[in-house]
Amino acid sequence: MATLVLTSATTLQGTAWTGTAPGPANPTVSGTISSSTDWSDHIKQVSINLARANVDFTNFGAGGFVENKPGLANMDVTVSFFNDFAAANIDATFGPAAIAGTLLYFDFKPTSASRAATNPSYVCALYIASYPPLGAQVGGAAETQIGFMLAGKYARLTS
């Protein structure tokens, strides 16, 4: 079994996409973010939660057991950033996007290498669900933990 210590995970973000973008009404996702920003040097932690709702199909023929089938898919993402208030940086990018409800494209990879079967990209279109601009203690690093909500289809790309 292969194991991995995350040391060079990458997170790219942009507001435009070349190819068929992830998000609303796009059945087949391909391509990549255009004019992306690599936030990897500001990120402490990323959590991607892929989930699928359960739809109850329990009936009298189920023999006393609950029967479920997979329903709608969803994803939520939480990214812990070391905040930076400089121009074109964390707060200047995500603060206005949170206020305006701007659609953001993301590409998350386990390593900085190119997409491959062993280094997949999780690509998605997200809106900011929560943005606390500042969280720190005296003498501590300025951090912000931004919560994102899915805008539509996400994909796992390997090429």
What is d(CA 115, CA 122) in angstroms, rounded to the nearest whole number? 10
Which DSSP letter does residue 110 get? S
What is d(CA 28, CA 143) in angstroms, rounded to the nearest whole number? 36
Q: Read off the pLDDT of residues 55-97 as tens digits, 9 standing for 90 and up.
A: 999 999 999 999 999 999 999 999 999 999 999 999 999 999 9
What is d(CA 95, CA 80) in angstroms, rounded to the nearest whole number? 14
Judge whether 17 and 33 are in contact, CB under 8 Å.
Answer: yes
What are the structural domains, with CATH classification, of the chain? 10-157 (2.40.30)
Judge whether 137 and 103 are in contact, CB under 8 Å.
Answer: no
The DSSP bridge partners found for residue 78 are 47, 147
pTM, entire model: 0.89
